Structure 1
Amino acid sequence: MIIDTHAHMSDSRFDNDREIVIQKAFDCGIEKIFEIACEMRYWDRALELSKRDNIFLSVGVHPIETTKATREDYYKLQVLIQDKKCIAIGEIGLDYHYDSSLQNTNTQKESFFKQIDIAVKYNKAVIIHCRDAYDEMIDFFKKYKNVPKGVIHCFSGTPKQAKMFIEMGFLLGINGPVTYKKSDNLKQVVFETDLNKLLVETDCPYLAPQKYRGQRNEPSYIAETLKEIATIKNILINEVVQITTQNALKLFGI
């Protein structure tokens, strides 16, 4: 059983063929899709998608969206996460790639800390987005008393940072970039990390694996990530599937 633990099927880029893409994923052996709604405009659409068998939901305010979020949005978030198909809060976090100004970083931090507190209050896993802010993220969790369970989505940090997150109880989300020709650092992270600390994801429609690079990503393309992990670790792909699936089921309480 394969699980795509991070997809954005609500995204408008799937408006013309969403049903076809979802069915293709199931036909290719994917049995569960975790729909990640981190833009407020997609929350209701994602909730509707999650009413289907084998599609689960996570909602949150992405760091890039924090300047748009209202007090009412955070109230709605707390309602949505109580839905029986909602397994996590996310993706949430810090992203300083495009704007590292003090005003932007403070806005992101306020939203991130608020959502972490909500996750702890409702005992939800968290899906963490982190870009150009790994050291700051690590420092935050070192000081936080009740670190929630969760995953560092689309991990792209160093092997040392990977170990620090794992020591704090997080799993690492691995997706298309591990297949890229210049991803030696990420391949090293995968090589050094126990398989029971990894999740596989697509982040579709973003970050298509090397075979489909430049195209819209889809859940069915997760096979490329599974193959690459198996190659790096010199094990059978079935072992990667089995262990990463169990990791996901355990983390998200399914």
Structure 2
Amino acid sequence: MLIDSHAHTTDAHFDADRQEVLNRAFSSGLKYILEVGCEPPLWDKVAELSKQEKIYSMFGLHPQDADKFNEELFNKLKSLLSDKKCVAVGEIGLDYHYEGYDKQLQKELFVKQINLALEINKPICVHCRDAYDDMVEIFKTFKQLPKGVIHCFSGSYEQAKVVVDMGFLIGIDGPCTYPKSNKLKRVIENVSLDKILVETDCPYLAPQLYRGTRNEPSYVVEVAKKIAEVKCVPFEDVCNITTNNTIKLYNLENS
């Protein structure tokens, strides 16, 4: 039994066969899917999808959309976060990968959404790309941080250790299966299994077996298999422990 702790099945890539994809995931043994709403145009679609059994939601404003922030959007976000099937604020964070984004605007929005998570007592799902140092510096400004996960972790083991010591979990995705992902494999090898979540981030980052095609929630099993291989532990242990980690972080059994 596994949980895809980070999926985007409301993405247009699934418009032709979304329900079939979801049915396939649950038929393959997934316990839950956590659907992420980080783009305002898809928020309502995510809320509607999460009405289905075994699907939970989270909502936030992605750093690449920081320039779209306004009070009207923020008020809608707060309303969505109050839904009983919504388990977290996310994905939120920093992304300096592309040119042309306002770093200061991203930082301000990130802080605002962390504060919102603290206010409503929900965990955060953090997106960080090419912005690790600034993310950590922001975390250090808080006397108290929400629980949370650094989603789709792509940093070094040393960086992973810092955020794990701050109380965060690490989200592992399809790239761990790629032949040249030695840095990520070192993270997996050295971070305790009780600090790891498994994700797909579908439709992106398909595992090696499906590389070049659309990713989907059922493929999260490939991530779990690779973690088991790298850590030299039984596949069943990876399933059980990461599932329990996700349930505990997001309080799923009581949502």
Q: TM-score range by the shorter chain?
A: over 0.9
| Distance of 1:213 and 1:74 partners within structure 2 | 36
Q: Which residue number corresponds to residue 80 of structure 2?
A: 80
Q: Which residue number corresponds to residue 91 of structure 1?
A: 91
Matched, 1:249 2:247: yes
Q: Taking structure 2 as the reference length, what is the TM-score of the superposition?
A: 0.97
Corresponding residue SS for 1:57: strand
| Distance of 2:99 and 2:30 partners within structure 1 | 36
Q: Which residue number corresponds to residue 158 of structure 1?
A: 156
Corresponding residue SS for 1:6: strand
Task: In structure 2, give the amino acid aligned to 1:16.
Answer: A
- The total of aligned residue pairs comes to 252
Q: Percent identity?
A: 52
Aligned-pair CA distance for 1:46: 0.4
User: Structure 2: which 5+ runs fail to align?
Assistant: none
Deviations 1:6-26 (A, max 9, x none): 000111110000010000000
| Distance of 1:186 and 1:139 partners within structure 2 | 23
Q: Which residue number corresponds to residue 21 of structure 1?
A: 21
| Distance of 2:107 and 2:196 partners within structure 1 | 26
Task: In structure 2, give the amino acid aligned to 1:116.
Answer: I
Corresponding residue SS for 1:222: helix
User: Structure 1: which 5+ runs fail to align?
Assistant: none
| Distance of 1:194 and 1:12 partners within structure 2 | 36
Alignment map for 1:167-182 (pairs within 5 Å) = 167-182=165-180
Task: In structure 2, give the amino acid aligned to 1:118.
Answer: L
Aligned-pair CA distance for 1:100: 6.2
Aligned-pair CA distance for 1:70: 2.1
| Distance of 1:202 and 1:69 partners within structure 2 | 27
Alignment map for 1:1-254 (pairs within 5 Å) = 1-99=1-99, 104-254=102-252
| Distance of 1:110 and 1:142 partners within structure 2 | 15
| Distance of 1:72 and 1:188 partners within structure 2 | 43
Q: Contact conserved, 2:111 with 2:138, CA < 8 A, in 1?
A: no
| Distance of 2:157 and 2:141 partners within structure 1 | 21
Task: In structure 2, give the amino acid aligned to 1:130.
Answer: C
Aligned-pair CA distance for 1:135: 1.2
Corresponding residue SS for 1:67: helix
Task: In structure 2, give the amino acid aligned to 1:21.
Answer: V
| Distance of 2:121 and 2:166 partners within structure 1 | 17
Task: In structure 1, give the amino acid aligned to 2:76.
Answer: K
Corresponding residue SS for 1:66: helix
Aligned-pair CA distance for 1:99: 2.4
Task: In structure 2, give the amino acid aligned to 1:198.
Answer: I
Deviations 1:124-164 (A, max 9, x none): 10000000011111111122112110000000011111000
Aligned-pair CA distance for 1:57: 0.4
Deviations 1:41-77 (A, max 9, x none): 1100000000011000000000011112221111111
Q: Taking structure 1 as the reference length, what is the TM-score of the superposition?
A: 0.98
Corresponding residue SS for 1:51: coil
